[in-house]
Amino acid sequence: MKQAALFYSILTVLLCFSTKGQEKTDAVERLHEEINLLVPEGAVLETLAEGFSWSEGPVWVPELKAVLFTDVPQNKAYRWDETSGLQVYLDPSGYTGHAPNKKKAGANGLILDTEGNLLLAQHGDRRIAKLLPPLWAQTAFITLVDTYQGKRFHSPNDLILSKNGALYFTDPPYGLDGDNDSLREIEFNGVYRLSSEGETTLLYKDLTRPNGLAFSKDESILYIANSDPKQNLWMAFDHIEGKLENPRVFFDATAIDKPGLADGLKVHSSGAVFATGPGGVLIFSAQGKHLGTIRTPGRAANCAFDEDETYLYITANKYLTRIKLK
């Protein structure tokens, strides 16, 4: 009996050590050594908040020293910072009754303009809007653009700003009841450009589900995600004087059998592309080489760096997480 008790005691200790080791397991699937220059070995994914329906659109706001992000189905935006933790930031965030909509979903993508104002891709209101300043005293939204050639957008999804102030955004039908919603006015799912003078241009209409988008550091390339299970990929385009040329596949993830679709993405100062997709956040070299994946607890939707790229913040299904970078 004593020998049996001793055996089980030793086994218990070994299992405890094994469990602790698993808790400290590297959060990153490392496919090539280059990833170690971006994410330190043994990196831990922190869960900062949870309980959301579908977290999206993170953006770091230096003025607030906080990350803002959205919960699309709940029509809310949240703020998280080191001091106060999680707080509701906007309620509503993306549906105010500005446009007819059955789903009444909230905002999706968020960015800051050159003056530090918050811009929102509002699913429910079917527009790109600006939150009137100041950021710490939420006021009202104003419309930047809500139609193309007199027809209302489906549900603007993600957006970026070029160095010259032009706004680029995608318009899939996720905020509608699919492709056959009676409220749909445009027959394709487009990628658009809003110039600083207010002119809206259609850049591309041949993606089935255009989603996240990001520029290379010199803005010579525009990357666009296509969130389609049958064409789960990222495209690259030459960006020349506000136009897109030479469309090509940057990385095709259709064959990766893991949860998630090509979604939001950001470009690191090194030129590496951090893109949410199957299995978490896929990290690519500027040439499209898959260096590895940050594993997330749910389907990853989008990500954002803080101002000095110390942390990458990730929205993943019901979670807000972050991981420390090099």
DSSP-assigned states of every residue in 178-208: STT-TT---SS-EEEEE-TTS-EEEEE---S
Report the alpha-carbon angle 201-107-216, nearest 5: 50
CA distance linking residue 219 with residue 151, whole number of Å: 29
Return the half-sphere exposure (C-beta side, CA atoms, 13 A cut-off) of residue 229. Answer: 4
pTM of the model: 0.92
Q: Residue 25 — pLDDT band, cuts 50, 70, 90?
A: low
Check pLDDT > 60 for residue 43: yes
Q: Could you tell me where the beta strands, DSSP code E, fall in 132-258?
A: 141-145, 147-148, 151-152, 159-161, 167-171, 190-194, 200-204, 210-215, 221-228, 231-240, 243-252
The domain limits of the chain are 29-324
Percent of the chain having pLDDT more than 90? 89
Q: Is the pLDDT of residue 51 over 90?
A: yes
Average pLDDT of span 260-283: 98
**Is 281 a residue whose pLDDT tops 70?**
yes
| pLDDT over 60 (residue 7) | no
Residue % of the chain over a pLDDT of 70? 92
Condensed to tens digits (0 to 9), the pLDDT of residues 62-86 reads: 999 999 999 999 999 999 999 999 9
* Interval 163-204: pLDDT, tens: 999 999 999 999 999 899 999 999 999 999 999 999 999 999
Question: Is residue 4 over pLDDT 80?
Answer: no
Q: What integer best gives the mean pLDDT of the chain?
A: 92
pLDDT at 24: 44
CATH of domain 29-324: 2.120.10.30
Q: Stretch 54-61: mean pLDDT, rounded?
A: 98
φ, ψ for residue 205, nearest 5 deg: -135, 15
pLDDT in tens, 116-169: 999 999 999 999 999 999 888 777 999 999 999 999 999 999 999 999 999 999
